Amino acid sequence: MSHVQGALHIVANNTLTYTHGPHPVETLPSPADQFGHKNEIQAQPSWAEIAPKLETPAVKERVADLLSRYPHGQGALLEVLWIAQDAIGWLPNEAIRWAADVCSCSPAHAFGVSTFYTMYKHVPTGRFLLQFCRNICCHLKGAPGILEYVLKSLNIKSGGTTPDGLFTVVEVECLAACGNAPAMLVNDDFATDVENGELVMKPGICLTEERVDKILQWCYAREEKFKVEPSREVLGGVVKGHGGHPGAPAATAKPQVADYAPPSPVLGVNAVAGDAGVTVTWKGAPEFTALSVEKLSESSWTVVGTPGVRDKQFVDASGKAGDEYRMISVSGTRTAKPSASAVAKLPPAPPAASTSEKKAG
């Protein structure tokens, strides 16, 4: 036990001391505080205040058309929430409750959905919501400097709104515009420049301080021209007259048949003639449940074998050079189109022996 006791003594003698006095723990700002995604407690409007914006013929028509597209109303929840936000400008609690009632789901579920996606706003924002990507591509290409320039120009902090209610600036994750890094969104539009009075994002054109100034000036000019932002189809244009989902009243759509998506065909079919007949090889997919080998006889294809789905080759004992083969795969009840055909060929002749090999023999 002496070696063990010695080890214990060594450990016990390693005491930690603070030679510079106590070290207080410093709490860093949370991500919400750093990136402006922390919402203060928001005063909530009553149903009476928002009802005039949601109980309009136009909103009712859009919602009814959306609901007809889904067998269950809950399937339209994301889009109904989006319509509510478009009508009000953000999503107060009563609007979420309205969307839940419209889609026949619980308010708790609708609230969970609306707080999961960052596209839904739970506080009022400025007329122009400037969203700056802070992900790696934009970060490496100078996004922090661009963001700092914008915040200094507008005299606000990240996540804040200008006193005139015109701009709100937030940092977001990837905008899927890495080729234009650093990039931003102005409301729902990509913008890295202004051309001919329109926001644009052309291939390879990224944000610079000069282009940011042009975009801000475009926003100011638009506020002068349109005191209220013109309405637009936020869902990208709802196609009406579709008749609804299969089974809906007056619907003409039919459910997809079971074999609407055929399995992949057999690939790489090859046929080599030899003394034992013709050996057919191929490449198959793991979802195959049956295979068949067909041979062209005069003008029709005849099944000559049904190898297992795990087999790699099939030998047609009656085959000879010049015969043509193809394969058919089946997955469950679905049948694939025939593979490309292969004509049986003789194997390549072995290379001729060299002069030195002949002498050695």
Separation between Cα atoms, residue 297 and residue 173, nearest integer Å: 62
Rounded Cα gap, residues 270 and 326, in angstroms: 9
Written as tens digits, the pLDDT of the chain (361 aa) is 455 454 444 444 555 555 665 556 666 666 556 555 555 678 899 999 999 999 999 999 889 888 888 888 999 999 999 999 989 989 999 999 999 999 999 999 999 999 898 789 888 989 999 999 999 999 999 999 999 999 999 999 988 899 999 999 999 888 999 999 999 999 889 999 999 999 999 998 999 999 999 999 999 999 999 988 887 765 655 555 566 667 666 667 677 776 677 788 999 999 999 999 999 999 999 989 999 999 999 899 999 999 999 999 999 999 999 999 999 999 988 899 999 999 999 988 777 766 665 566 5
Ordered domains of the chain (ranges, CATH): 44-116 (1.10.10), 128-225 (3.40.30.10), 267-343 (2.60.40.10)
The tokens describing 195, both together, are: 């051309």
**pTM (predicted TM-score):** 0.55
Distance CA 320, CA 345 (A): 8
Whole-number Cα distances in Å, 164 to 44, 128, 333? 21, 11, 64
What distance in Å separates the CA atoms of residue 200 and residue 211, rounded to the nearest whole number? 11
Residue appearing with tokens 């506020």: 223
String of DSSP letters for 184-252 = EEETTEE-SEEETTEEE--TT----HHHHHHHHHHHHHHHHH-SSPPP--TTS-PPP----STTSTT--
CB 265 within 8 A of CB 329: yes
Who contacts 238 (Cβ-Cβ below 8 Å, separation ≥6)?
62, 65, 66
Q: Is 347 helix (H, G, I), strand (E, B) or coil?
A: coil
